[in-house]
């Protein structure tokens, strides 16, 4: 249920931890664009403070930050309609993140599956950064610093948005206020979890080991075709009904991707391709992906040729973000009893 006392406001972000993937596009950016200009005020962020929870080469980080910004802009995020900025330019995120570190419980963090996936277990986990462990509480700060009511995310981030709700509830309860909203995760559509092209049990990630397991938003047409051609599948043709995809993760993933790229439902894709073999479906998918991604990737290249303009837009976005964030942080300090004279 959405809290009606809060302005309908969307916040979401993407880490500049590598090049953008088709997973980021379908699970996040494409939906961010759809939510723009409607009933919500929309705030989109390049979450560079999250990227450094694992090692980032300083020379590449600023460039990766600009590239994610270029991905947003080229996909249709309009810096007049949305607030677009990078997290490091709004220090209030880190300040509220610290307060939430003191609200969240260690037991809650221990249940976060993404930390377990990324840090491994035993001695490996001990070598992970403290930032990686605390990352969900900074994510809660990113969202609640704007009193965001809705957060569009992919399926992998659902647990973190639930934690954000727990942090808001505990803060409100401990300080006997009704200050932070209980944010609603928006997870809908056929591509909320785009899977790795070589292993249908793992999600497609920027930092996955092999480049063949993902489609990058900047891949050229030949590379996209090659990657889909070599994508792992089973030998069976596409089924007549959706139920026929139930135990076929790789086949289901390719159908999901087709549906999401073409704004169709999975049922519509199956109806169109019932009984088709991979020799027919994979080239059709590759052509569709090229048609949708090529204009975006061309525009990203154009934008990346003018880094000063990207920096200017991000700086302007940060100013607008601070106008919302500062009064909310000020009130938070007052509620907590932190003196600022």
* In the complex, residue closest to ligand AQP by CB: 27
Which two three-digit tokens encode residue 323? 């106008």
- In whole angstroms, how close is the CB of 254 to ligand AQP at the nearest point? 14
| H helix or E strand, kind and range, residue 280 | helix 278-304
154 near ligand AQP (CB under 6 A)? yes
- Contacting range for ligand AQP; rule: CB under 6 A; set: 12-20, 89-97, 284-292, 326-334: 12-20
- In whole angstroms, how close is the CB of 334 to ligand AQP at the nearest point? 31
Q: Within its chain, how far is the Cα of 92 from the centroid?
A: 21
Q: Within its chain, how far is the Cα of 73 from the centroid?
A: 15
- In whole angstroms, how close is the CB of 266 to ligand AQP at the nearest point? 15
CA distances (Å), 118 to each of 87, 113, 124, 128, 226, in order?
22, 9, 10, 9, 28
93 near ligand AQP (CB under 6 A)? no
Which member of 15, 30, 203, 227 is catalytic?
Answer: 203
- Contacting range for ligand AQP; rule: CB under 6 A; set: 120-128, 191-199, 221-229, 249-257: 191-199
Measured at the CA of 189, the angle between CA 261 and CA 199, to 5 degrees, comes to: 70
183 near ligand AQP (CB under 6 A)? no
CB burial of 270-287 (b: ≥16 within 10 Å; e: otherwise) equals: beebeeeebeebbebbbe
With H, G, I as helix, E, B as strand and everything else as coil, classify residue 159: helix
- In whole angstroms, how close is the CB of 204 to ligand AQP at the nearest point? 4
203 is catalytic: yes
Lookup result for tokens 């569009």: 152
Which of 23, 181, 189, 317 forms a contact with ligand AQP (CB under 6 A)?
A: 23
- Per-residue binding string, ligand AQP, 201-220, x by CB under 6 A, is --xxxxx-------------
42 near ligand AQP (CB under 6 A)? no
Class of residue 130 by CB neighbours under 10 A (exposed 0-12, middle 13-18, buried 19+): exposed
Report how far residue 165's alpha carbon sits from residue 140's, in angstroms, rounded to the nearest whole number: 8
Q: Are 152 and 186 in contact (CB under 8 A)?
A: yes
Question: Toward ligand AQP, which CB reaches closer, 154 or 317?
Answer: 154
21 near ligand AQP (CB under 6 A)? yes
Report how far residue 334's alpha carbon sits from residue 178's, in angstroms, rounded to the nearest whole number: 14
- Contacting range for ligand AQP; rule: CB under 6 A; set: 15-23, 57-65, 310-318, 320-328: 15-23
Catalytic residue set: 118, 203, 206
Which stretches of the chain bind ligand AQP, using CB under 6 A?
14-15, 17-18, 21, 23-24, 27-28, 153-154, 156-157, 192-194, 203-207
């Amino acid at each position: 249920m959405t809290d009606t006392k809060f302005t309908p406001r969307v916040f979401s972000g993407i880490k500049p931890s590598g090049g953008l993937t088709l997973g980021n596009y379908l699970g996040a950016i494409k939906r961010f664009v759809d939510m723009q200009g409607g009933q919500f005020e929309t705030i989109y962020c390049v979450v560079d403070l999250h990227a450094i929870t694992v090692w980032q080469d300083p020379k590449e980080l600023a460039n990766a930050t600009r590239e994610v910004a270029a991905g947003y802009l080229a996909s249709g995020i309009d810096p007049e309609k949305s607030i677009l900025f990078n997290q490091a330019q709004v220090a209030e995120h880190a300040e509220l993140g610290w307060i939430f570190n003191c609200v969240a419980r260690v037991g809650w963090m221990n249940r976060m599956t993404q930390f377990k996936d990324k840090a491994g277990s035993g001695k490996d986990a001990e070598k992970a950064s403290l930032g990686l462990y605390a990352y969900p509480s900074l994510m809660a700060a990113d969202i609640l610093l704007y009193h965001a009511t809705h957060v569009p995310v992919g399926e992998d981030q659902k647990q973190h948005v639930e934690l954000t709700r727990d942090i808001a509830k505990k803060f409100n309860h401990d300080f006997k206020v009704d200050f932070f909203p209980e944010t609603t995760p928006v997870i809908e559509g056929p591509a909320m979890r785009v899977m790795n092209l070589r292993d249908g049990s793992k999600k497609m990630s920027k930092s996955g080991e092999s480049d063949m397991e993902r489609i990058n938003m900047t891949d050229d047409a030949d590379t996209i075709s090659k990657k889909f051609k070599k994508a792992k599948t089973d030998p069976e043709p596409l089924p007549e009904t959706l139920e026929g995809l139930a135990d076929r993760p790789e086949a289901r993933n390719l159908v999901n991707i087709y549906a999401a790229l073409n704004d169709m439902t999975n049922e519509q894709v199956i109806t169109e391709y019932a009984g088709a073999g991979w020799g027919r479906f994979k080239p059709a998918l590759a052509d569709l992906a090229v048609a949708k991604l090529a204009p975006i990737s061309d525009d990203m290249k154009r934008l990346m040729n003018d880094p000063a303009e990207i920096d200017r837009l991000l700086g302007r976005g940060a100013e607008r973000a601070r106008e919302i964030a500062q009064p909310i942080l000020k009130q938070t300090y007052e509620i907590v009893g932190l003196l600022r004279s």
